[in-house]
Structure 1
Amino acid sequence: MTMPTPLTGVVPPVCTPLTPDHEVDTSSLTRLIDHLVEGGVDGLFVLGSSSEAAYLTDAQRRVVIETVAGHVGGQLPVLAGAIDMATPRVLDHVRSVTEAGADGVVVTAPFYTRTHPAEVARHFRLVAGRSPVPVFAYDLPVAVHSKLDAELVLELASEGVLAGLKDSSGEEGNFREVVLGARGRADVSGFSVLTGSETTVDAALAMGADGVVPGLGNVDPEGYARLYRYCREGDWVRARVEQERLCGLFGMVRVGDAGRMGGSSSALGAFKAALYLRGVISCPVTAEPQVPLSSGEVERVGKFLAGAGLL
């Protein structure tokens, strides 16, 4: 489908259900897509952090995008991560996901190597110059060790290199500068500014953001759709109540014992356990080498769901 400009609303980063032997569970994946569409989301983002893209083989990535794009059939825009260390590998992913039906691609700064802002800018220009679909920048300094400065993002937006930004940096001042530039600069139009934070969506939308890419949206898409609607309607009292309910639910990401697992294992394990407990996916396994949640930790996820009215 044609990508809306700007892209707005709730665009969850879709989890990748796996079988017990760690292959992509396409049946669970299509059920998850139905769950999200029925929950009122406005688009889908596959092959990002919540999709465990860093842990998937190229063949598994291809299965994910083919399954999702084929199942959605143009109902909603589908963004796909084309995330890798350097420009040639990113371009390989761009070709793969666009051939499989992606409507847009999401790209981080290069990583592993130490880069200069000029090289980061060149990376995005080269990718956009060869991509048949719009390119969205993914600001994720915790993972790629490079911050996308507002001035650079807006420069690339003014050139038509970038169609939007997914900001998962947590730096609200920089985020607001992008929002203000996207709204106020005559040379920037149709640029989408999306927050990757689950817990400050109301604040981001009050700043003027276009939408949200919440990992927790896999678990409760209806909640984020309501929150977005309340904010757009200017009903800030109901928006605050809904945001605070979602903040409570987000506590599930910390159920994992930090003494034996990393934050990714805990958060993604919790999202998948919640989807399993809600009957959406068949197996809550996460990709290796992540550490699985214990039965007691899964039980705690269930308590978060019950507390949020989802069980």
Structure 2
Amino acid sequence: MYTSSDICGVNPIAALPFTAQGEPDYTSFSRLLEHLAATGIQGLTLFGIASEFPKLDDSERLLLADCFLSDLKGSGIFRAMSVTDHSTEVAVKRARDYQKRGADALMLLPPFFLQPDADAISHHIFSVLEAVDIPVMVQYAPGETGLAITPEQLSEVAARYPHAVFKIECNPPVDYTREFLKRAPQASVLNGYAGLYMLEMLAAGGKGVMPGCSFSEVYVQIYRLWQAEKQHEAQELHGKLLPWIRRWMTHCEYIIQVEKTILHKRGIIATDYCRHPGWTLTAEDHQMIDTFITTFAL
């Protein structure tokens, strides 16, 4: 059984392939999972924002969850499932169900629809944490949710629940993380946001990164260089990546589409279809993606 200290390293958010008609492509999904398990990542998370989770119905979600857990069983990487429900009661049920199905960890997106107050948000987070005993990555993504949580509030979660892990992706996240870790030095912190702040977050005490999944090999290489105390080489490679991800992260739907197109161009998934509403890439975007794939030898 995984503990909070095991949740570290490169833990991408799995993309969800669709057919050209917009239906889940389970064959491509299995092929993607097989590919990702061989890249050297430490974990993989399903139903994050990069998984287009708001665009799935309940039956699709359950089928994809079972496929994810069964395909990656015995892979040596931890399998995390994101709980995104805005109802506390439903979130608790889903968290328990994912643990029962075999998830190694959960990710929790706090509710933000209709702007619940701080007490309601705390109740939601605490309820899910109390419902399971596997690690739970509490997600802080104010740019996407419009919800602000202070370092003090987050440190209260860390103090009460040792199986909590914290995915901090405010922009920028470094000062926030330092402030949080001053109050909760025992806490494990990961960062998303396409790894824009990957090295700064590791230097600040973070344990890993949760980017998209279409070029996981690059993040793995950066992380291994950092672990080997080859900071200069890690910074060089990360600096080479930055111009691309800075542009693509200007909008969430933009990078979701780019990541899907990279996977398609690499031959890992059958189409780059994203469910609507989404983002339309330009001819310049496609040319950039082709150059990116060549530059990083993907």
Q: In angstroms, what is the RMSD of aligned CA positions?
A: 2.1
Output one character per residue of 1:198-248: Cα deviation in whole Å (capped at 9) or x when no partner.
122111111111111012xx1222211111122122211101111012213
- 1:1-311 alignment to 2 at 5 Å? 1-3=1-3, 5-74=5-74, 75-160=76-161, 163-170=164-171, 171-183=173-185, 188=186, 191-197=187-193, 198-215=195-212, 218-250=213-245, 253=248, 263-294=251-282, 297-310=285-298
Check the 8 A contact 1:6/1:210 in 2, yes or no. no
Q: 1:131 to 1:50 in 2, by over 3 A?
A: same
Q: Which letter does structure 2 place at the counterpart of 1:65?
A: A
| Over 6 Å off, 4+ runs | none
Output one character per residue of 1:52-105: Cα deviation in whole Å (capped at 9) or x when no partner.
111111222212221111011142111111002231232232234333321221
CA separation in 2, counterparts of 1:136 and 1:17?
24
Check the 8 A contact 2:196/2:246 in 1, yes or no. no
Distance apart, 1:162 and its partner CA: 5.1
Distance apart, 1:295 and its partner CA: 5.6
Q: Which letter does structure 1 place at the counterpart of 2:178?
A: R
CA separation in 1, counterparts of 2:228 and 2:184?
21
Check the 8 A contact 2:82/2:107 in 1, yes or no. yes
Check the 8 A contact 2:12/2:211 in 1, yes or no. yes
Structure 1: runs of 5+ lacking an equivalent: 255-261
Q: 1:126 to 1:213 in 2, by over 3 A?
A: same
Q: 1:225 to 1:46 in 2, by over 3 A?
A: same
Check the 8 A contact 1:83/1:93 in 2, yes or no. no
Q: 1:271 to 1:292 in 2, by over 3 A?
A: same
Check the 8 A contact 1:65/1:102 in 2, yes or no. no
Aligned length: 295
Q: Which letter does structure 1 place at the counterpart of 2:266?
A: R
Output one character per residue of 1:268-300: Cα deviation in whole Å (capped at 9) or x when no partner.
111010001111111100012224435663343
Give the share of equivalent positions with the same residue, in percent.
24
TM-score by length of 2: 0.91
Distance apart, 1:132 and its partner CA: 4.6
Q: Which letter does structure 2 place at the counterpart of 1:45?
A: T
Distance apart, 1:6 and its partner CA: 4.2
Structure 2: runs of 5+ lacking an equivalent: none
3-state DSSP of counterpart to 1:50: helix
CA separation in 1, counterparts of 2:38 and 2:241?
19
Q: Which residue of 2 aligns with 1:257?
A: none
